[in-house]
Structure 1
Amino acid sequence: MRVRRVLCSLLAVALAPLAVGTPSSHAAPEAGRVAPSNPLLVAVRARHVGDVDRVVFEFRGGLPADRQVEFVDRLFADGSGRRVHVAGQALLRVRFERAQAHTDAGAPTAAPRRVAFPLPNVLTAVRSGDFEAVTTYGIGLAKRTRVRVTTLQAPPRVVVEVGAGFPTVERKVWFFHRDRFVDNREPFFVPVRRLVRPGSPATGVLDRLFAGPLPGERARGLRLLRSGATGYDDLTVSGGVADLRLTGRCSSGGSTVSIAGEVLPTLKQFATVDRVVLRDAAGSTLDPDGPGDSTPGCLEP
């Protein structure tokens, strides 16, 4: 009887319908049904054309689903809410939805996080977010002007055109030369030329300073030595004295060089400035009424 029961069981298994191709909730999705990646931001570049400065955001894999371009007073990092400082007298926020500046594997693309431009109006572009398929940049401007946004294909691009049909003059901005300092070859601070509006050249050169060196200048060793500062405020020029306050932190880090080596010569190039009074964020400086330049104690070695 036991042999008979075993034989019946084997026969039932053999006659049971096969389950090949039966749908399952755990089955892997077909390759063709995998959701595509978001468009990747791969480049940010800018140039002056006619009477506009044209900032181009280039993508791979199509255009972002939505683009928002607007003037704002401040820029904040997506996700953290941290303040992101952008040099300039006007701030344009450019926000791309369903777009990212990193690959699906998490590697950053070639799009810069922060880049300076030598254009009449556009000073810099600074990324403030690459979070949950939203990529955001702040564009620092010398002046608030009209803005036009267009798109192009082959390759996919979003073009932000900013009015720049106003006069400019060329002035100098001093930056820290890292390689000279490492090699102990003076001068440690060297000038480069920038375009600024003639009506407010002191403001213009300081905005260019905090925008930082151009990519080619960085390749030659130039850096913005911030000493913790995020920018400047309360700039006045009167009676031969340029007086201003640094914003953010202030520290020399024990070094013999600081942001003062950039600010002082950048302002003293003007015939109207004989001395500079540079203050920390609280307004303190070592010798505000003395005959020479004055810097805050936080910049002492």
Structure 2
Amino acid sequence: MGRARVFVRLLLSAALVAPAALAGTGTATAAAPRIPTLVGIRAAHHPTYDRVVFDFTGGVPSRHWVRYVSSLRADPSDKVVPVAGRAVLAVTMSPTNAHTAAGVSTAPARVAFALPNVMTVVRAGDFEAVTTYGIGLAKKDSFHVFTLRHPDRLVIDVRSTLRTVWKKVWFFNQRRYLANTEPFFTPVLRPVRPWTPATGVMDRTFAGPTAHEYALGLRRLTSKATGFTRLRISDGIARVQLTGGCSSGGSTVTIAGEIMPSLRQFTTVDHVKIYDPRGRTERPWGHTDSIPECLEP
């Protein structure tokens, strides 16, 4: 358990001492305070910043910690939670829940945005009135945090003065697949940094579709991969290695259907070779497309 997590536990324990001590004195104990509930996450671009808003009912969390981390950690397992982007801003809020008393989630576990800097928000913990999310960014930059009431919300403004260009990112179209109507992958537009557009496109692939796109049937196919590395383009060939895992699950549609058209849109790319986490692909040589064996049906 991380030091930040232990600190949160100590604060919560201290807050519970006073009511417990009063119970034996004959003094009437006050009703337990209502814990704020996270009910939504939204984001929008403004002239110089991207604003991420966490919406609550029942007040706002009395404590919050926002900081850059090298990796987002799940609470309480401490396992790494993959977050797409070049930087991760961790947001811990307490006391608050992101679920009902019956355990039904009240806020999304993952949501993507087509903004210049903010690309995704991913939940890492909702445990014992402590809720943690990671914000995936295109670039690490300064930020400002504050709370607002009526309605209750925690606001994070991340500086966003990046110059971007629009590129296509392909996602799996579940509706077309179920209707057996090709093509099964649909392009959407995303802002990416012009000097690293291929990296930007791959980051947006792993960030996934926006809420609106999801409602239209678009899905993020990862084929067990959690990210990518060693992306390079030379001699008309784009090469990229998956990280985490790799499995088609026996399906004829995989992450390759997202990656290949997304990278082939660049004029310098004629073919795409995808490698598994161990650096293997079926056709490593020659001017031809290639996927690893783990992506075969």
Shared fold by TM > 0.5?
Answer: yes
Instruction: Deviation per CA, 1:222-255: give whole Å up to 9, x if none.
Output: 1111111111111111222111100111111111
Tell whether 2:131 aligns with 1:140.
no
Is this contact kept in 2: 1:251–1:298, CA < 8 A? Answer: yes
Which residue of structure 1 aligns with residue 68 of structure 2?
71
Which residue of structure 2 aligns with residue 15 of structure 1?
none
**Structure 2 CA distance for aligned equivalents of residues 257 and 45 of structure 1:** 31
Which residue of structure 2 aligns with residue 84 of structure 1?
81
Tell whether 2:252 aligns with 1:253.
no
Residue number among 227, 234, 242 corresponding to 1:231 in the alignment? 227
Residue number among 112, 115, 123 corresponding to 2:111 in the alignment? 115
> How many residues matched?
273
Which residue of structure 1 aligns with residue 261 of structure 2?
265
**Structure 2 CA distance for aligned equivalents of residues 135 and 70 of structure 1:** 14
Instruction: Deviation per CA, 1:276-295: give whole Å up to 9, x if none.
Output: 11000000000011221111
Which residue of structure 1 aligns with residue 34 of structure 2?
37
Is this contact kept in 2: 1:43–1:112, CA < 8 A? Answer: yes
Tell whether 2:78 aligns with 1:53.
no
Residue number among 181, 186, 208 corresponding to 1:212 in the alignment? 208
Counterpart of 1:154, as a letter, is H
Which residue of structure 2 aligns with residue 240 of structure 1?
236
Is this contact kept in 2: 1:73–1:91, CA < 8 A? Answer: yes
Which residue of structure 2 aligns with residue 9 of structure 1?
none
Deviation at 1:63, TM superposition (A): 1.5
Which residue of structure 2 aligns with residue 11 of structure 1?
none
TM-score by length of 2: 0.89
| Aligned partner of residue 226 in structure 2, secondary structure | strand
Instruction: Deviation per CA, 1:70-129: give whole Å up to 9, x if none.
Output: 0001011111112110000010000102111112343321x1110000100000000100
Of 223-232 and 32-41, deviating more is 32-41
Counterpart of 1:165, as a letter, is T
Is this contact kept in 2: 1:37–1:104, CA < 8 A? Answer: no
Alpha-carbon RMSD across the aligned residues, in angstroms, is: 1.5
| Aligned partner of residue 192 in structure 1, secondary structure | strand
Counterpart of 2:180, as a letter, is N
| Aligned partner of residue 33 in structure 1, secondary structure | coil
Is this contact kept in 1: 2:237–2:287, CA < 8 A? Answer: no
Which residue of structure 2 aligns with residue 98 of structure 1?
95
**Structure 1 CA distance for aligned equivalents of residues 184 and 103 of structure 2:** 38
**Structure 1 CA distance for aligned equivalents of residues 180 and 105 of structure 2:** 35
Is this contact kept in 2: 1:76–1:128, CA < 8 A? Answer: yes
| Aligned partner of residue 135 in structure 2, secondary structure | strand
Instruction: Deviation per CA, 1:168-204: give whole Å up to 9, x if none.
Output: 1000000111111111100011101111110100000
Stretches of structure 1 that go unaligned for 5 or more consecutive residues are 1-24
**Structure 1 CA distance for aligned equivalents of residues 188 and 241 of structure 2:** 23
Counterpart of 2:64, as a letter, is R
Is this contact kept in 2: 1:149–1:161, CA < 8 A? Answer: yes
Counterpart of 1:283, as a letter, is G
Deviation at 1:135, TM superposition (A): 0.3
Tell whether 2:198 aligns with 1:202.
yes
Counterpart of 1:68, as a letter, is W
**Structure 1 CA distance for aligned equivalents of residues 102 and 279 of structure 2:** 47
**Structure 1 CA distance for aligned equivalents of residues 196 and 236 of structure 2:** 16
| Aligned partner of residue 186 in structure 2, secondary structure | strand
Counterpart of 2:191, as a letter, is L
**Structure 1 CA distance for aligned equivalents of residues 57 and 31 of structure 2:** 18
**Structure 2 CA distance for aligned equivalents of residues 274 and 54 of structure 1:** 38
TM-score by length of 1: 0.88
Tell whether 2:126 aligns with 1:130.
yes
Residue number among 221, 235, 238 corresponding to 2:217 in the alignment? 221
Is this contact kept in 1: 2:193–2:200, CA < 8 A? Answer: yes
Tell whether 2:167 aligns with 1:186.
no
**Structure 2 CA distance for aligned equivalents of residues 70 and 64 of structure 1:** 17
Counterpart of 2:204, as a letter, is R
Is this contact kept in 2: 1:87–1:208, CA < 8 A? Answer: yes
